[in-house]
Amino acid sequence: MASETLDIEFRGVSKRYGDVTAVHPTDFAVPKGAFIALLGPSGCGKTTCLRMIGGFEQPTTGQVLIGGADMAEVPPYRRPVNMVFQHYALFPHFDVSANVAYGLRQVRPRLTSSEIARRTADALAMVQLAGFGKRKVHELSGGQQQRVALARALVNRPSVLLLDEPLAALDKKLRTDMQIELQNLQRELGITFVLVTHDQEEALSMSDVVCVMNGGRIVQLGAPDEIYDRPADRFVAAFVGKTNFLDGTVVENGGNAARIRLANGMEIGARLTGGGAPGAAVSVSLRPEALRLGAATGETGLGGIIRNRIFLGSTAEYAIEVPGLGTLLATADHDAARSDLLRPGDEVAISFNPGAPLAFPVADNKTTQRETSHVEVLS
């Protein structure tokens, strides 16, 4: 078996609370040294999965393996993993050093106190808090507390670091800094990171592998660009990044080269995921950055009137009212955004690459929605 190259493996793992299923039977594996993000809306089961790795929840069925060993009877304090809690869970009656050293003090046979002191100081230096050891926890800012929590977990040199929405409580600037720092730390230490987040930007920007979850199931597992460019279903397309959804019906199902008739009668080529007989209702996803705006030519293409322009610096977003299709969002980069052509009230022609539209069966979405609301009771 290849389990020695895997840090974490789920084999048919599910979790039920009474009548409610938080996680449906799930299989997945995380290779050693990977940075994986469990991404999904609240109540999708991602935190439950993380807590099953940490040992705070027991799976109802299936096995959780860490480093190839079954963790069924192993309590949290005997697992080679450490966790950064969402609200840090620092010990308020200890100073910073004592918080960081806590895990080292539990090691048997005992480490010498000089060894503990050295490793604690190293860990604090690693998170740029050298010299903060004697501070009380409540004297630190949110970002500093976050770093202490990180040092407290990493000082133990775990084989897996679990991060439960670690950046959710930080402001945007700090969050970006910490994202970069976490990425650097992960590369330097070579430890497997498992990050739980509901923030798709965070998941895409930090991890090597994104595991999108919804309604207690893994919907898609893949590299960030794969998730973004080739979403497995309508839910992923909607949850990861911004997109436009256009209603349509299948004219001809050619898989990668299907013909779809849009609500305004226009026929376009699209890649159809999930199948659909001619006549079936589909939802066509078109990313805002895939839309190109040009001067209205009067040809029989897609066109509309600019209603709003949101200038974002390097890019600008346009809300364009398209007759028969509703309002589409388009992104143009800075140069195009400066063009005199594009002002609210202007008529524009919209074009896109033939490969850009992705079509998804509509029914797919409805079942997903129902499961989501069902599971949300839990959180």
Partner 1 sequence: MMRAFVTAVYGFLYLPIALVVLFSFNAGRHASEFTGFSFQWYGRALSNTFLMEALTNSLIVATTSAGLASLCGTAAAIGLGRAGPRTRAVFDALFGAAIVVPGVVIGIATLVALVQLFGIVNPALAALWPGDTPPRLALGYGSIIAAHGLFSTALVTMIVRARLGALGRDMVEASSDLYAGPFTTFRCIVLPQILPAILAGFLLAFTFSFDDFIVAFFVAGSQTTLPIYVFASIRRGVTPEINAIGALVLAASIVLVIAAQLLLRRRTPASS
What's the min distance (Å) between Cβ of 74 and partner 1? 12
| Contact status, residue 286 vs residue 329, Cβ threshold 8 Å | no
| Contact status, residue 57 vs residue 78, Cβ threshold 8 Å | no
What's the min distance (Å) between Cβ of 296 and partner 1? 54
| Complex with partner 1: residue 75 or 190, whichever CB lies closer | 75
> What phi-psi label fits residue 255: left (phi over 0), alpha (psi between -120 and 50 degrees) or beta?
left
| Complex with partner 1: residue 135 or 230, whichever CB lies closer | 135
| Complex with partner 1: residue 20 or 238, whichever CB lies closer | 20
What's the min distance (Å) between Cβ of 165 and partner 1? 13
Return the residue of 56, 181, 251, 347 that touches partner 1, per CB under 8 A.
56
Return the residue of 4, 112, 138, 345 that touches partner 1, per CB under 8 A.
138
DSSP string, 29-79: EEETT-EEEEE-STTSSHHHHHHHHHTSS--SEEEEEETTEE-TT--GGGS
Q: Which of residues 70-109 bind partner 1 (CB under 8 A)?
A: 75-78, 81-83, 85, 87-93, 102-103, 106-107
Q: Minimal CA–CA distance to 291: which of 307, 302, 276?
A: 302
Distances (CA, A) of 258 to 94, 108, 283, 288, 291: 63, 63, 13, 21, 19
Return the residue of 15, 119, 147, 152 that touches partner 1, per CB under 8 A.
152
Q: Which of residues 107-136 bind partner 1 (CB under 8 A)?
A: 107
DSSP string, 159-173: SEEEEESTTTTS-HH
- At 121, which helix (H) or strand (E)? helix 113-126
What's the min distance (Å) between Cβ of 49 and partner 1? 16
What's the min distance (Å) between Cβ of 93 and partner 1? 5
Return the residue of 156, 192, 214, 285 that touches partner 1, per CB under 8 A.
156
Q: Minimal CA–CA distance to 261: which of 272, 277, 250, 275?
A: 250
In three-state secondary structure terms, 93 is coil
- Interface map 194-233 toward partner 1 (x if CB under 8 A): ----------------------------------------
In three-state secondary structure terms, 149 is helix
Return the residue of 40, 43, 45, 54 that touches partner 1, per CB under 8 A.
54
What's the min distance (Å) between Cβ of 101 and partner 1? 10
Binding residues (CB under 8 A) for partner 1: these are 54-56, 75-78, 81-83, 85, 87-93, 102-103, 106-107, 138, 152-153, 156
